[in-house]
Amino acid sequence: MGRGRVEMKRIENKINRQVTFSKRRAGLLKKAHEISILCDAEVSLIVFSHKGKLFEYSSESCMEKVLERYERYSYAEKQLKAPDSHVNAQTNWSM
């Protein structure tokens, strides 16, 4: 028999919230690892706790390389979406 749905709202009890965070974080890291193996995908995951503690997972390469790749990709995507934005900025300054 399956479990019922969990109501998506903040857990008010601090201890229960921390236990849930720890369990779900572990499950999330496990899922990230599984999808990287099963699908031969490069996966990175960054989680900060409510106290600001960092938890990270990165398959195959280090997190810094993945973040650099993400930044390059994001920059390229922005350039593709607005290729003429620099031209408009240059012509509007003299008005």
We report the CATH number of the domain holding residue 19 as 3.40.1810.10
Dihedral of CA atoms 15, 26, 45, 11 in degrees, nearest 10, equals -30
State the pLDDT at residue 91: 46
What's the pLDDT tens digit per position in 17-62?
999 999 999 999 999 999 999 999 999 999 999 999 999 999 977 8
In which domain, by residue range, is 34 found? 14-83
Instruction: Please indicate, yes or no, if residue 66 is contained in any of the structural domains.
Output: yes
Instruction: Please indicate, yes or no, if residue 93 is contained in any of the structural domains.
Output: no
Instruction: Please indicate, yes or no, if residue 90 is contained in any of the structural domains.
Output: no
Instruction: Please indicate, yes or no, if residue 61 is contained in any of the structural domains.
Output: yes
pLDDT at 94 exceeding the cut of 60: no
Instruction: Please indicate, yes or no, if residue 5 is contained in any of the structural domains.
Output: no
Instruction: Please indicate, yes or no, if residue 1 is contained in any of the structural domains.
Output: no
Beta bridge partners of 56: 46
* Number of domains the chain contains: 1
State the pLDDT at residue 1: 67
* CA atoms of 59 and 31, how far apart (whole Å): 12
State the pLDDT at residue 41: 93
* CA atoms of 35 and 83, how far apart (whole Å): 35
State the pLDDT at residue 27: 98
